[in-house]
Amino acid sequence: MAEKLDIILFGVTGFTGKHTVKYLHKFASAKGRHLTWAVAGRNETKIHTILDNVVNETNDKTLSKIPIILADVLDANSIQLMVSKARLIINCCGPYRFFGEIVVEACVEAGTHHVDVSGEPYFMETMELKYHDKAKEKGIYIVSACGFESIPSDLGAVFLQNNFEGTLHSIETYLKLDSIDGSSHIPRMNYGTWESAVHEVGHVKKLKSLRSQLFPNRLPKLKPILGKRWIPFKSSVDKNWAVFFPASDRSVMERTQRFFYQEKNRRPIQIYTYLLVKNFVNIILLGLTGLIFTILARFKLGLNLLLKYPSLFSFGFFDSEGPSEENIQNTRFCLTLFGKGWRENLVDSEHEYQTPPNKGALVQVEGRNPVYGVTCKSVVLAAIVILTETSKMPNRGGVYSPGAAFAATSLVEQLNENGVNFEFLKDFEL
C-alpha cells in the first residue's frame, strides 16, 4: 500500500480552494517541513488550469507535478477513496450543510483529520453531536471554522484570556472592514458565503432543536449579565457606529468557552459581536438588508429569491461572480476585542462578584485580504499544526472549535509570522 499523503486539499476549483493552493504550497515546505500534498475535485481540466495559474504566479514549475485526485461529493466511493489517501483533509467544498457531512463521515471512518472553513453553526454543531465520540476513538481531530470565520475572533478571545491578569468576565468584539487605499469601495464576499447564510437563517428552528441535544446543560449565568445591544451605538473602541453582528463567530466562541468550563474549570466568558460602520446611511442599509433577509429566508419563495439575486438583496456586498482580485487585495480588517473583568484572581470559576468589573483590556487582530488571504492562511496553518503539534491538542481527538483545539499550540504565533497579527494593546481601570 502506498504511503499516505500528509494533506489533500479538497474543493480546489471553488473560490476558496483555488486561493488556498499557493499557501499550501508555501507553508508545506516552510521551516524545514517536507509535507506531501495533493489537490482534489471533480473537474480535472479546471484543476489543471488552477495549478497552471499558481505556477505562473509563483514561477515554481514543480507545482505542475502535484498529484490530482478526482472526487465528487455526489459519489461516496470517490470521497472514501480520497480520504484514505491522506493523513488530513482540508475541505473547501461548501455549503457544508449539504456537502460537508459526507466528507467528515468518511474521514472518521478512515481515521483522517479534517479541517474546513465553514461558517455554518448548524453543520458544525451537528458534526460535534454525531462524530465527537467516534473521532476521539479514532484519535483524529475534526475542526471547523478555520477561516476568517472564526480564527481571528475565537483565537483572539483565547489570546485575551491568556493575557488578562485577573478574572475575565465578558468580551465584546468589534469588526471593521475597509479599504487599504482609503477608497470607499465595498469589500465584497463570494456567493458561497451568502448561500450558507441564507440556509442558516432559513433553518434557525432546527438549530435550536439541535442545541437542546448537544448542550443539555446550560452554562452558568454569572452576573453581571452582558446584554445584547440591539440599538446602534457609538463604539468606545472606535469613532464609528457599532451594530449587532449576527455572524457565526459568537456561536463558535461560546463552544470554546463551554469546553474551557467543562474540561478546564475556567470561568465561561460572556460574548457579543458587533460590526463597525462609518455612517448612519450604512446602518440603514444594513438594517434593511437584515430585515429583508430574515423575512425572506423563512419562506421557500423568499429563500429562492435571496439565492437568485444576492447582489440586489445585499446592496452589492455579495455577488454571484465573487469579488475581483483588486477588491480582494484592497480590503483589510481590524477586529478589536474589549474584555472586562476584575483585577483579582479567583479559584472558583462560578464565583459571583458583588461589585461591577473594575478592569478592562483590549486585543486587536488585524490583516489584509480577509476573504481569501486570512481564510486560506488560517486553514492551511491549522492543518499543519494538527499534523505537527498533535500532542498539544485536547483529549487525543474529537470535534472541536478552533479555540478549544489550538489554545495550547503555536497557531497564533504562526499566524503572526504570516500577516494575521494578534496584539495585546493595553489594560486599564474601569
Supply the pLDDT for residue 278.
86
Rounded mean pLDDT, 343-360 = 87
Rounded mean pLDDT, 299-326 = 82
Q: Give which of 179, 177, 184, 157 is closest to 169, Cα–Cα.
A: 157
Rounded mean pLDDT, 377-393 = 98
Rounded mean pLDDT, 186-214 = 81
Q: Where are the beta strands (DSSP E) in 343-429?
A: 359-368, 398-400, 421-429
Give residue 351's identity as a one-letter amino acid code. Answer: H
Supply the pLDDT for residue 264.
93
Which range (95-104, 198-207, 265-274) has the least confidence?
198-207
SS3 for 32? helix
CATH topology assigned to domain 151-370+413-429: Dihydrodipicolinate Reductase; domain 2 (3.30.360)
Residue 1 clears pLDDT 60, i.e. is over it: no
Rounded mean pLDDT, 97-102 = 97
Q: What is the pLDDT of residues 37-65, one digit of tens each?
A: 999 999 999 999 999 999 999 999 889 89
Rounded mean pLDDT, 199-221 = 88
> Residue 233 CB: number of other CB atoms within 10 A?
12
Q: How far apart are CA 130 and CA 395, in angstroms?
A: 17
> Residue 340 CB: number of other CB atoms within 10 A?
21
Q: How far apart are CA 248 and CA 252, in angstroms?
A: 6
Q: How far apart are CA 381 and CA 295, in angstroms?
A: 38
Q: How far apart are CA 214 and CA 125, in angstroms?
A: 7
Across the chain, what does the average pLDDT equal?
93
Please, which residues bridge with residue 309 across strands? none
Q: How far apart are CA 359 and CA 395, in angstroms?
A: 33
The CATH 3.30.360 portion of the chain extends over: 151-370+413-429
Length of the chain: 430
Rg (CA), the chain: 21
> Residue 246 CB: number of other CB atoms within 10 A?
17
SS3 for 305? helix
Residue 419 clears pLDDT 70, i.e. is over it: yes
Please, which residues bridge with residue 173 across strands? 273, 337
Supply the pLDDT for residue 313.
83
Cα angle, residue 173 at apex, residues 169 and 176 outer, rounded to 5°:
165
Place of cell 481540466: 45
Q: How far apart are CA 92 and CA 19, in angstroms?
A: 10
- Options 2.30.40.10, 3.40.50.720, 3.30.70.20, 3.40.30.10; CATH for 5-143 is 3.40.50.720
Categorize the per-residue pLDDT at 185 as very low, low, confident or very high, splitting at 50, 70 and 90: low
Residue 32 clears pLDDT 80, i.e. is over it: yes
Supply the pLDDT for residue 266.
94
Residue partners of 21: CB distance under 8 A and separation at least 6? 9, 12, 39, 50, 51, 54, 63
Q: How far apart are CA 78 and CA 106, in angstroms?
A: 10
SS3 for 26? helix
Rounded mean pLDDT, 15-41 = 96
Q: How far apart are CA 56 and CA 71, in angstroms?
A: 25
Supply the pLDDT for residue 186.
60
Rounded mean pLDDT, 321-344 = 88
Reading across the β-sheet that carries 241-244, which strands appear in turn? 233-234, 241-244, 270-277, 167-179, 331-342, 359-368, 421-429
325's grid cell: 482580485
Categorize the per-residue pLDDT at 123 as very low, low, confident or very high, splitting at 50, 70 and 90: very high
Most confident of 181-195, 222-236, 272-286, 291-305: 222-236
Distances, alpha carbon 45 to alpha carbons 113, 167, 222, 264, in Å: 28, 55, 56, 49
Supply the pLDDT for residue 147.
97
Q: How far apart are CA 259 and CA 286, in angstroms?
A: 33
Residue 184 clears pLDDT 70, i.e. is over it: no
Q: Which letter does DSSP use for residue 373 in this model? A: I
The CATH 3.40.50.720 portion of the chain extends over: 5-143
Q: How far apart are CA 158 and CA 313, in angstroms?
A: 35
